Structure 1
Amino acid sequence: MATRGSMLIKRISGAALRRKHTPLPAIRLPSLPAVPAVFVGSRRGKSTSTTKGKGKERYNFNTSIEFSNEPDPDHVNWRKVTAADLAARKEPPTRVKMLVRDFIDDSLYNPNYGYFSHHATIFTPPKDGFDIISFRDVAHFQETVAERYEREYGLEPTEGAQGGLGRQVWHTPTELFKPYYARSLISAIVQSYKLYHFPSEPLIIYEIGAGNGSFMIDSLTYLRDHHPDVFARTKYRIIEISSALAKGQRERAEKEGFGMKVQVLNKDFFQWDGVGGGDQPCFVVALEVFDNFAHDMVRYELDTLTPRQAVVGIDASGDFTLLYETINDPLISRVLSYNRLLPQSSSTLPPLPYPLLYSETLRKAYASMPFAPNLSAPDFLPTKAVLFAEKLREKLPGHRLLMADFDELPDAVGGRNGPVVQTRYGNSMIPCETFLVKQGYFDIFFPTNFEHFRDLYSIIMNSPSRITPSPSSTPDSPSSLPSKIKQDFFSHSSGVKGFRRRNIGIYTHADFLAKYGGKEILDKTTVKDGANVMTAMYKNAKMMF
């Protein structure tokens, strides 16, 4: 429940599916008598409601100038739910409200109507991979991949009520560059393992979300054939949320002769109890995982820079309403606290032009202008990524993390770190301008700010426990925690043992493969015109190790 006077509302139809366009000017509307200081923005007609005894209009940021329908006045009584609460439902809920991250998690991962339960398929290359050196150039390679895609998956629509929506097929570098991509990454792990832990400790690898199991198979095959001494000490563990994928991973491991090496844990990593983990040295691999980690959304009041958390309300007809309320979610509070411990930057400050950030007078003058917004642009916080790091800190403190994902994406929703929301219809990918779309019909994925995540990850690993604001501060207060880390903030005994001595590297996709792939692997992924397909593609991806 929002604190009285703190809730803001933006209404969007659940059926909305529009291509991106330039936002229209904002219009301010009168507050509703049912809930004091509630700000309303809907998309049809013009509202004439006013607060009893007052005719003065109130303003809010909106992307449309047309208003008519007010949100259900009973929204204050809707039940607050999480994605976990909805896991057993067969259909999307109504008359509820939830944080943005729970709405996205439910849309993607609900076992019954979630997007990944019905629409997502992983592209499968030939069994031994493509004969890359036989291609004329990179374009020839891409054409061959496209031909296989059409031949294997075509324009097959989904069945039943989903109508003409097509299956979306993921193209991962592990599959496209099989087996050389996996060999490059496992080579980096082997180098680190031999430098710090061989032969006194076993090589323990955790892969989070292993898909078809291709990285696991290619990695273990490489270790068996090229590093038998390391292979003998290897334990490979997969934590997989999907029951169907977990079953396939077990079957592939058995078929390839790795059944005794591989343990598949069919669990949500965020719900994993850590059994079998401990503080032993290990390596955690997360490939194309972070992009589907749900984010939360906050916006900042222009006059005070007070953050407000966004809540998605779903009315009886399935339409969506955005509600903005006082920060009260512990995870959002922690992420904002971590940000305040970092040096000020474009990643940690409210997403506003610098003149407005540093001048309260300018902010108030700007907010008083006709049609001006009174909230900042959306700021999508990587709350699930932070929770992932906290889980590693808690359950696998001796880990070393290898992650790969996209650092920028085209056609993203507006706001800082906004997601791409898209679905396949026929032979076309349809992008959307909002994440408030019908649950289960759309892929929602985010870019990763690697430099910002590295800083957050370092704070979490160097801290003795989760950081919480001081008792005298409030989550809203911009100054509740210091803006920079002081040298004595952490004691010498706090944090993960040895973490301070580690060098956390961030690489472009091409730089990482060039550094760890080696000449033999690079030669086998070079086409006839001299270009290397592995380093030429995925230019919007990075790796952290």
Structure 2
Amino acid sequence: MDSPAVNRLFRQLATHKFCHSSRYAPTTVSAQQCRQQSGQRYARPQEKKPKTTIESNWQQRTDHFPLNKSDEFKRFPTVTSDALRGRKERPKRTKMLMRDFIEDSLYNPHYGYFSKNVTIFSPGAPFDFNRIADEPEFNRLMGERYTEFEDKLDEKEYREDRQLWHTPTELFRPYYGEAIARYMVANYKLTLYPYHDLVIYELGAGNGTLMLNILDYIRRVDPEVYARTKFRIIEVSSALARLQDHHLHSSAASRGHAEKVEIINKSVFDWNAYTPEPCFFVAMEVFDNFAHDIIRYDPETEQPMQGSVLIDSDGDFYEFYDRTLDPIAARYLRVRDAACHGRQYAHPLRTPPWLRQLRHSLPFAPNLTLPEYIPTRLMQFFNILGTKFPAHRLITSDFHSLPQATAGYNAPVVQTRYQRRTVLVRTPLVQQGYFDILFPTDFNVMEDIYRAITGRLTRVMTHEDFFQRWADVEGTEMLSGENAMLGWYKNASVMVTV
């Protein structure tokens, strides 16, 4: 832990009961329990400060223009996540849009969550699902391997705040990666072979396991296609890029793929090369960590207001809202209105105006609606695909819903680990770099926006439907007849370009 503030934060977390959940696995803990157990509003202990007026405190509770900070909001400069990349210290006495705050929290090279604090669980040898009795036994075995994995990490460096989570790629290897490879090879041979190479881009490759499983499968099943395969990883985290390169050279079998693989250590949002060749673009469990903007609406005029984060001289966080939208947020709302015309989706203004006005006229009622988190970074990613990779085919999977999310529409789950337990909090305004901030994806809306931006057609299906068709499901079937790969991730969807 790198500062007294972080020490205070985790001491505060230690005083609460913990909500047990994994980043991707289903959970039985209720959202209400987590809200009651998760701690302070800003997840950072604050010294008691003298009150100004009752009006000031009431406005701060309802997240709209806390008066005692308005002067600082006017004086402090506005920064972006790009401008903070070179900073080694978490910023103070500044303000930024919510998407920049989230981007900085997750991806800053010096203190970001994915840059410095994340370890991806690897279970060691693949699970022999055909010899596992049922799902409870699988859960027990996975728990044992989690403990063994973290015990080995603690022998090298003990950390109470280690951020550890797993992915379906690791849990169901090699079957998960082979299903993706089978889908790509079938579609490649149907439309591109032999006139084009099989070019694969993977965004955010984690440990590199999916890459190795895909290449192993193609080399074993179709040597002619393998001879024409090129695999390129786009990885924003330098630490993960080094880990991927290490795993690429860790065995004779993986070293055999080295000439096929290029690891590009940069953010996809910095991509400036035009790539006209047909390619597959794989983005598995990536959308959930794209930064979002926060919007609240005036309940009477229905005007959207965009949220910014003020960081004061003590490093505490405060939300402010402005009626002037920045160009990116304004564009998202315009594109959504045009692309989703006639489609019903969850939105703060869906209730009848008279009921909304009555609710907000009650004593102590908030003066803005609940927040809506809009995926502006995801829209920018689609724009990059459409302009820089015009012949791409997207393959993506992510969560269409998440339990225990914070309040609002399309709101994130915000969680950290302390002493090997998961702790959920109620706001994304948390100590930068120590919390995972992950969002659900409304695939119906994003499918329309993707089509509008790229001009490409898509198909959305459930996680189970996709892997039922393309995976070797017999390999993940247990003695009880339950199938781990099909039974888990009921809250995930798959979207592919057709």
TM range (shorter): 0.7 to 0.9
Cα offset for 1:195?
1.5
Find the aligned partners of 1:158 and 1:453 in 2 and give their Cα distance: 44
Unaligned runs of 5+ in 2: 1-7, 17-33, 38-47
Cα offset for 1:159?
11
Q: Is the 8 A contact 1:525 1:532 kept in 2?
A: yes
Cα offset for 1:44?
7.0
Find the aligned partners of 2:440 and 2:357 in 1 and give their Cα distance: 32
Deviations 1:139-191 (A, max 9, x none): 2122111101101104977999xx96431222111111110110011111112
**Larger Cα Rg: Structure 1 or Structure 2?**
1
Q: 2:398 aligns with which of 402, 405, 411?
A: 405
Cα offset for 1:363?
4.6
Q: Is the 8 A contact 1:157 1:167 kept in 2?
A: no
Give the structure 2 partner of residue 77 of structure 1: 75
Give the structure 2 partner of residue 291 of structure 1: 288
Find the aligned partners of 2:324 and 2:207 in 1 and give their Cα distance: 39
Q: Which amino acid aligns with 1:186?
A: A
Q: Is the 8 A contact 1:420 1:431 kept in 2?
A: yes
1:452 aligns with 2:445: yes
Give the structure 2 partner of residue 48 of structure 1: 53
Q: Which amino acid aligns with 1:102?
A: D
Find the aligned partners of 1:170 and 1:164 in 2 and give their Cα distance: 15
Q: Helix, strand or coil for the counterpart of 1:236?
A: strand
Equivalence map 1:13-412=2 (5 Å): 20-21=35-36, 47-48=52-53, 62-63=61-62, 70-71=68-69, 73-127=71-125, 129-154=126-151, 165-254=160-249, 255=251, 256=254, 257-274=256-273, 277-341=274-338, 342-347=340-345, 350-356=347-353, 359=354, 363-412=356-405
Find the aligned partners of 1:49 and 1:402 in 2 and give their Cα distance: 52
Find the aligned partners of 2:402 and 2:303 in 1 and give their Cα distance: 29
Q: Helix, strand or coil for the counterpart of 2:310?
A: strand
Q: Is the 8 A contact 1:165 1:423 kept in 2?
A: no
Please report the TM-score for the alignment, with normalisation by the length of structure 1.
0.78
Q: Is the 8 A contact 1:47 1:68 kept in 2?
A: no
Find the aligned partners of 1:83 and 1:444 in 2 and give their Cα distance: 16
Cα offset for 1:345?
4.3
Q: Helix, strand or coil for the counterpart of 2:104?
A: helix
Q: Helix, strand or coil for the counterpart of 1:542?
A: strand
Find the aligned partners of 2:383 and 2:287 in 1 and give their Cα distance: 14
Find the aligned partners of 2:317 and 2:143 in 1 and give their Cα distance: 37
Cα offset for 1:355?
1.3
Deviations 1:286-315 (A, max 9, x none): 011111111100001011110000000011
Cα offset for 1:537?
1.3
Equivalence map 1:491-502=2 (5 Å): 499=456, 502=457
Give the structure 2 partner of residue 435 of structure 1: 428
Cα offset for 1:439?
1.1
Cα offset for 1:377?
0.6
Give the structure 1 partner of residue 486 of structure 2: 535
Cα offset for 1:45?
7.3
Q: Which amino acid aligns with 2:400?
A: D
Cα offset for 1:201?
1.1
Q: Helix, strand or coil for the counterpart of 2:410?
A: coil
Give the structure 2 partner of residue 11 of structure 1: none
Q: Helix, strand or coil for the counterpart of 1:174?
A: helix
* Structure 1 residues 365 and 151: alpha-carbon distance in aligned structure 2, compared to 1, 3 A threshold: closer
Cα offset for 1:505?
1.6
Find the aligned partners of 2:428 and 2:411 in 1 and give their Cα distance: 9
Q: Helix, strand or coil for the counterpart of 1:74?
A: helix
Q: Helix, strand or coil for the counterpart of 1:507?
A: strand
Q: 1:522 aligns with which of 460, 464, 473?
A: 473
Find the aligned partners of 1:265 and 1:442 in 2 and give their Cα distance: 26
Find the aligned partners of 1:421 and 1:49 in 2 and give their Cα distance: 30
Q: Which amino acid aligns with 1:48?
A: T
Find the aligned partners of 1:396 and 1:224 in 2 and give their Cα distance: 26
Identity, % of aligned positions: 42
* Structure 1 residues 110 and 306: alpha-carbon distance in aligned structure 2, compared to 1, 3 A threshold: same
* Structure 1 residues 429 and 283: alpha-carbon distance in aligned structure 2, compared to 1, 3 A threshold: same
Unaligned runs of 5+ in 1: 1-13, 23-42, 51-56, 463-498
Q: Is the 8 A contact 2:164 2:417 kept in 1?
A: no
Find the aligned partners of 1:187 and 1:221 in 2 and give their Cα distance: 11
Once the two structures are overlaid, the 10-residue window that deviates more, 336-345 or 424-433, is 336-345
1:513 aligns with 2:497: no
Find the aligned partners of 2:148 and 2:175 in 1 and give their Cα distance: 24
